[in-house]
Each structure stands twice: as structure tokens, then as C-alpha cells.
């Protein structure tokens, strides 16, 4: 079709105008926070170390995700402008899913950074040097592109014989796949494959990292040293929970949606896009002394 029509939140059309206000406020906070993080890390040479370079990549990823979704969502809610061209829809889907995978990879890299910093503090700078971090981030980005590109290719080759109406406020992979003619199980199975490969691999690495961290921290003789070690991981754990919980819920209910109202799907999808970018700068900016000192 030449275009799709994004409906917003079916069943809550009358409330969408007002729902857009808290979304816009969170969008503004997230834009300000992540842009500030990027500028501070870029301009301060003392912050050019692995932890902060990964944090800068996380902020950049959040900005891409936000700007892929929120401008169009707000135009739907406030202006009723739901039309989106076929190519634009595929491009939006590509950026959303690619950078969601990138964010998962960056969070995994940050867990590995904490593992090396706590378990091998004297060798941290040699194990995770700046070139290693750059290579790691490049691999994470390449993984996202390689895994999401087939989704877009499969949909681009399909014919769409159903009405081009997407019951969502942005172009999600499964929402698009369900509009295609014939059986959409190939797209559904590939989406599940990507979900389990990315989430399974990343959560396994995060689990192993934190298991090793716990083993080392619990053996520290000083209570103050244990609290300091746990404190360096608290922000990362909060950010991971904010990212993975709504993300897994959204991915699963799109495929096994019996008994779950559609507005719940879409609200969870917005939380997945909005909550992590809003919380990340707060969690890291407030709890990381080097960053907080630059802000104040």
C-alpha cells in the first residue's frame, strides 16, 4: 500500500489528547537528560573511559529510539495525523527494533564492565581499553542491523490485502506482519528467534556477570567496601529492569495476545520506549559522582 494509517490507542481515542501531555513531558525530560549526558561526556576528557563511553552510547541509542517514535505519536494524539508512507513505516520499524537490540547489547557490555571493574580492578584499563569498547559497541550495532534487516526484507516482499490500518501509534513488526496476505507465521517465528537469541544471550551474560560480582563482593572483608561495590551496580540494575520488563511483555503479548486488551499492549509499548530513556540519565547522573559533579 502507498501508506498505512496509525490509529493510536484503540478504545482510548477520546483520551489520547490528554495522554499526550505526560508523554510529551517524559519526552522532554528524556531529550534533555540524554543530550546533557552526551555533551558532558564529550567535553570532559576525564570521562573518556569505558564506563562513560558505554553510557554515552546508551544515551545516543535512547535518543534514536525516542525520535523514531514520539514525534509521530504526538502528531497522532494531538493532530490526528495518522498517515505514514510504506517506506517510512518500514524505516521506523527498522530503527525501533535495531536500536532496541543495540540498547540490550550496551546494557550487557555495561554489566561486563562492572564485572571486570570489581573482579579485576587492577587490570580493568588493560582488559577494557577504549579500542576494545569501540569494537564491542561496533559489534553490538552490527548485530542489530543484521538481525532486523531480514524482518524489513520479508515485509517488503509481502503483499498486503487487508485494510492498511495499524492499531498502534507506531510501526511495530508484528502489527505490520498481521496485515500481510496469507500466513504471517514466518515473520512471527523469525521475530521470536530474534527475541530469544538477543534477550537470551544478553540476559545469560548479565546473569553470569552479576553472579561473579556477588561472589567477589560477599568475600570482601569490609562492610563499607561491600556497600561501595554494590552501589556501583545499583544504577545499572535499575536501568535493566526498566528496559527488559516492559520490552519482554510487549514482545510476548503481540504473539500470544489472548485475554489481554489491546490498549494494554500499546501502553506497555510506550512505556518500553519512554521509561528507560527518561530514567537512565537520572539513575546514572545522580548516582555517579563524576557526572553529578559536572552537572552541579
| Predicted local distance difference test score (pLDDT) of residue 64 | 94
| Predicted local distance difference test score (pLDDT) of residue 24 | 92
Closest CA to 201 of 193, 211, 191, 190: 193
Q: Which residue has the higher pLDDT, 279 or 227?
A: 279
Strand partners, 84: 4
Strand partners, 6: 166
Question: How far apart are alpha carbons 276 and 253 in whole angstroms?
Answer: 20
Contacts of residue 48, defined as CB under 8 A and 6 or more positions apart, other chains included, come to 41, 130
Question: Using CA of residue 180, residue 181, residue 185, residue 186, what is the dihedral sign?
Answer: negative
Q: Which residue has the higher pLDDT, 146 or 275?
A: 146
Contact status, residue 189 vs residue 30, Cβ threshold 8 Å: no
Q: Which residue has the higher pLDDT, 206 or 283?
A: 206
Residue 288 binned pLDDT confidence (cut-offs 50, 70, 90): low
DSSP sequence for the chain: --EEEE--STT-GGGHHHHHHHHHHHHHHHHHHHHHHHHHHHH-GGG-SHHHHHHHHHHHHHHHHHHHHHHHHHHHHHH---EEEHHHHHHHHHHHHHHHHHHHHHHHHHHHHHHHHHHSGGGHHHHT-HHHHHHHHHHHHHHHHHHHHHHHHHHHHS---S-SEESSSS--HHHHHTTSSS--HHHHHHHHHHHHHHHHHHHHHHHHHHHHHHHHHTT-S-HHHHHHHHHHHHHHHHHHHHHHHHHHHHHHHTTS-TTS-HHHHHHHHHHHHHHHHHHHHHHHHHH-HHHHHHH-
Whole-number percent of the chain with pLDDT over 70: 89
Contact status, residue 136 vs residue 109, Cβ threshold 8 Å: yes
Place of cell 542489530: 144
pLDDT at 98 over 90: yes
Place of cell 569494537: 135
For strands 165-166 and 83-85, give the pairing: unpaired
pLDDT at 162 over 80: no
Closest CA to 291 of 235, 240, 222: 235
pTM: 0.88
Residue 41 binned pLDDT confidence (cut-offs 50, 70, 90): confident
Contact status, residue 190 vs residue 155, Cβ threshold 8 Å: no
Top-level class of domain 3-293: mainly alpha
| Predicted local distance difference test score (pLDDT) of residue 95 | 94
Domain ranges in the chain are 3-293
Contact status, residue 184 vs residue 240, Cβ threshold 8 Å: no
Q: Which residue has the higher pLDDT, 94 or 52?
A: 94
Q: Which grid coordinates belong to 179?
A: 496485515
Q: At what angle do helices 262-287 and 50-79 cross, to 10 degrees?
A: 140
Average pLDDT (266-284) is 81
Contacts of residue 256, defined as CB under 8 A and 6 or more positions apart, other chains included, come to none
pLDDT at 141 over 60: yes
Closest CA to 1 of 165, 187, 186: 165
| Predicted local distance difference test score (pLDDT) of residue 39 | 87
Whole-number percent of the chain with pLDDT over 90: 20
- Tens digits of residue pLDDT in 187-242: 878 888 888 888 888 889 988 888 888 888 777 777 776 676 666 677 777 777 77
Amino acid at each position: 500500500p502507498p501508506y498505512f494509517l496509525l490509529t493510536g490507542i484503540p478504545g482510548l481515542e477520546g483520551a489520547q489528547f490528554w495522554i499526550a501531555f505526560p508523554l510529551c513531558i517524559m519526552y522532554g525530560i528524556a531529550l534533555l537528560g540524554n543530550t546533557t549526558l552526551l555533551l558532558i561526556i564529550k567535553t570532559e576528557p576525564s570521562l573518556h573511559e569505558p564506563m562513560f563511553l558505554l553510557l554515552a552510547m546508551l544515551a545516543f541509542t535512547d535518543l534514536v529510539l525516542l525520535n523514531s517514535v514520539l514525534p509521530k505519536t504526538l502528531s497522532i494524539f494531538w493532530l490526528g495525523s495518522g498517515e505514514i508512507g510504506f517506506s517510512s513505516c518500514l524505516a521506523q520499524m527498522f530503527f525501533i527494533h535495531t536500536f532496541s537490540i543495540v540498547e540490550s547489547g550496551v546494557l550487557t557490555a555495561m554489566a561486563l564492565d562492572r564485572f571486570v571493574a570489581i573482579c579485576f580492578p587492577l587490570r580493568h584499563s588493560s582488559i577494557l581499553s577504549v579500542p576494545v569498547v569501540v569494537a564491542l559497541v561496533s559489534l553490538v550495532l552490527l548485530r542489530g542491523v543484521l538481525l532486523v534487516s531480514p524482518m524489513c526484507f520479508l515485509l517488503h516482499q509481502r503483499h498486503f490485502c487487508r485494510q492498511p490500518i495499524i492499531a498502534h501509534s507506531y510501526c511495530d513488526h508484528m502489527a505490520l506482519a498481521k496485515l500481510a496476505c496469507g500466513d504471517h507465521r514466518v515473520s512471527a517465528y523469525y521475530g521470536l528467534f530474534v527475541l530469544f537469541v538477543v534477550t537470551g544471550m544478553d540476559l545469560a551474560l548479565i546473569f553470569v556477570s552479576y553472579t561473579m560480582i556477588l561472589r567477589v563482593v560477599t568475600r570482601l572483608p569490609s562492610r563499607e567496601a561491600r556497600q561501595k561495590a554494590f552501589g556501583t551496580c545499583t544504577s545499572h540494575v535499575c536501568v535493566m529492569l526498566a528496559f527488559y520488563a516492559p520490552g519482554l511483555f510487549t514482545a510476548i503479548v503481540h504473539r500470544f495476545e489472548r485475554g489481554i486488551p489491546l490498549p494494554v499492549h500499546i501502553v506497555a509499548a510506550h512505556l518500553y520506549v519512554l521509561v528507560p530513556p527518561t530514567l537512565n540519565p537520572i539513575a546514572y547522573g545522580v548516582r555517579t559522582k563524576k557526572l553529578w559533579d559536572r552537572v552541579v
